[in-house]
Structures are given as structure tokens and as C-alpha cells.
């Protein structure tokens, strides 16, 4: 049975990366939908912009899947736009594809949740668990026995050492490093290039070593 064709929800930068990963994996990308489609170009990277989300009505939910092209910088106050949009579309019967770029290195013993995205050059090691809808972005590393909660974003080049735990909705900025065994609570945001050496229950941390952003003002 052939793989279903896919429509990417969101025609911004992350959507382009997701479409490229799907194309590299020989998945047929029908095009993009985007709420800001009005006034945009008709195509993006060779794929048509089909319109806003209402354009999905022309497609069969049993024959076509979606991929989440909405990125995110972390939202402390509640579910991210990425999560809200995907869950709303799932309530209408749409299924979201798990995306894996062919260059991603994923251990057979890693547990990958539905709708997760494993992008170019990332590494997910033995015993790791990646939650529903989470992004492991370009060249990010998730080491052994690390748990990444649902709807997290591990940004390009970030490193989660062994036995790290991320709660749901966390954002780990590009190039940040989380020391082995550290636990982050739900929706913790880690700044770009930070070095997190101790547990963080809430809020935003940045710097080397990482400290709450409120202490740096």
C-alpha cells in the first residue's frame, strides 16, 4: 500500500522545512494551506499554496494526511498555536503524519510519538521517548533514555544529554545544552545557547550557566 499524500498546514519557514523533509522521504506533498494565504504567491518551493484551512474541504480525510508546518518559540501561558491548530483539525477527523527526514538517525529502541517531526541530521538515541507532536529539529541530539514530552520543540543544534526529562510544551533554543539527568517542567523555555545544569520547574532560563530571565534584568 502506497504512502498517503500530504498537505502541509502552515507555509512559513518551518512549513518549508517539513515539506522538504517529506519530499526527501519520497512522500508526495500536495501543497500548503495557510490562514494568511490571501495575497501570497501561488507556489512555495514548487508546491501550490491551496488557500486557507477552508481549502481542506476539497480533500478526503481518509485518503490525505496533514503535516504540521507551524513552528514555535515556546509559550509559557498555555498550549502553543501549533498544538491548538493540530488538535482542532484532528477533531474534524484529520490525521497528522509523523515526519522523518532520511538523514535523521533514530535508534530502533527509541519511542516516537504520533505526529512527531525528526528533521535533517538529528540524532535520537536508545531508550529515548519523543512525545506527540514534538519537533526534534535540524542536527539536534536527544541522548539515551531522555524523555521529551508532548508538543516540545528541540531547536536546531540543541543537545539533551542522557536521562533528561522535558515536560510538555517545552522549548529548547538553538545550540542549548541540557546536562544529564536534568528535569524541566511543563512549558519551560530555554534560551539560545544556554547551558542548563540544574532542574527548572517553570519560566524562561538563559545564559551559561542558565538562570531565570527575571534575575538577569
Quick one: CA torsion of 16, 79, 174, 96, rounded to 10 degrees? Answer: -40
Domain CATH number, residue 174: 2.160.10.10
Q: What's the rounded Cα separation, in Å, for the pair 95 and 126?
A: 27
Residue 158 domain-assigned (yes or no): yes
The pTM (predicted TM-score) of the whole model is 0.95
Letter string b/e over residues 163-177, b meaning 16 or more CB atoms within 10 A of that residue's CB: bbbbbbbbbbbbbbb
Domain that holds residue 21: 5-90
What does the pLDDT read at residue 21?
A: 98
**14 and 79 assigned to the same domain:** yes
Residue 216 domain-assigned (yes or no): no
Cβ–Cβ < 8 Å for 110, 129? yes
Residue 211 domain-assigned (yes or no): no
Q: How many domains does the chain have?
A: 2
- Cα-based angle 49, 54, 57 (whole degrees, multiple of 5): 100
What does the pLDDT read at residue 78?
A: 74
Domain CATH number, residue 32: 3.40.50.20
Q: Which residues pair with 184 in a beta bridge?
A: 166, 200
Residue 210 domain-assigned (yes or no): no
CA distances from 81 to 16, 72, 76, 217 (A): 17, 8, 12, 28
**123 and 198 assigned to the same domain:** yes
**146 and 119 assigned to the same domain:** yes
What is the mean pLDDT for each group of 10 consecutive residues in the chain (217 residues)? Answer: 85 96 97 84 90 94 96 75 95 97 98 98 98 98 98 98 97 98 97 97 95 79
Q: What's the rounded Cα separation, in Å, for the pair 183 and 174?
A: 18
What does the pLDDT read at residue 2?
A: 62
Read off φ and ψ for residue 147, nearest 5 degrees: -110, 120
**149 and 188 assigned to the same domain:** yes
Residue 62 domain-assigned (yes or no): yes
Question: Which three cell numbers mark 133?
Answer: 507532536
A 10 A CB-CB count for 43 gives: 12
What does the pLDDT read at residue 4?
A: 85
**125 and 198 assigned to the same domain:** yes
**77 and 153 assigned to the same domain:** no
Q: Which residues pair with 124 in a beta bridge?
A: 106, 142
String of DSSP letters for 76-132: TTS--HHHHHHHHHHTTT--B--EE-TT-EE-TT-EE-TT-EE-TT-EE-TT-EE-T
Amino acid at each position: 500500500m502506497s504512502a498517503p499524500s500530504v498537505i502541509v498546514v502552515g507555509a512559513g519557514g518551518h512549513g518549508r522545512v517539513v515539506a522538504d523533509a517529506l519530499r526527501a522521504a519520497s512522500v508526495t506533498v500536495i501543497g500548503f494551506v495557510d490562514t494568511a494565504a490571501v495575497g501570497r504567491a501561488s507556489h512555495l518551493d514548487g508546491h501550490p499554496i491551496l488557500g486557507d484551512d477552508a481549502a481542506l474541504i476539497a480533500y478526503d480525510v481518509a485518503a490525505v494526511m496533514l503535516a504540521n508546518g507551524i513552528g514555535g518559540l515556546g509559550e509559557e501561558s498555555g498550549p502553543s498555536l501549533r498544538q491548538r491548530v493540530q488538535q482542532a483539525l484532528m477533531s474534524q477527523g484529520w490525521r497528522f503524519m509523523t515526519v522523518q527526514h532520511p538523514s535523521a538517525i533514530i535508534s530502533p529502541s527509541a519511542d516516537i510519538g504520533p505526529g512527531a517531526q525528526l528533521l535533517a541530521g538529528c540524532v535520537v538515541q536508545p531508550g529515548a521517548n519523543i512525545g506527540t507532536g514534538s519537533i526534534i529539529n535540524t542536527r539536534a541530539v536527544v541522548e539515551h533514555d531522555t524523555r521529551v514530552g508532548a508538543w516540545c520543540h528541540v531547536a536546531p543544534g540543541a543537545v539533551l544529554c542522557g536521562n533528561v526529562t522535558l515536560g510538555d510544551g517545552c522549548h529548547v533554543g538553538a545550540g542549548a545544552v541540557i546536562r544529564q539527568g536534568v528535569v524541566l517542567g511543563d512549558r519551560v523555555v530555554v534560551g539560545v545557547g544556554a547551558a542548563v545544569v540544574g532542574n527548572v520547574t517553570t519560566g524562561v532560563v538563559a545564559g551559561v550557566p542558565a538562570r531565570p530571565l527575571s534575575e538577569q534584568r
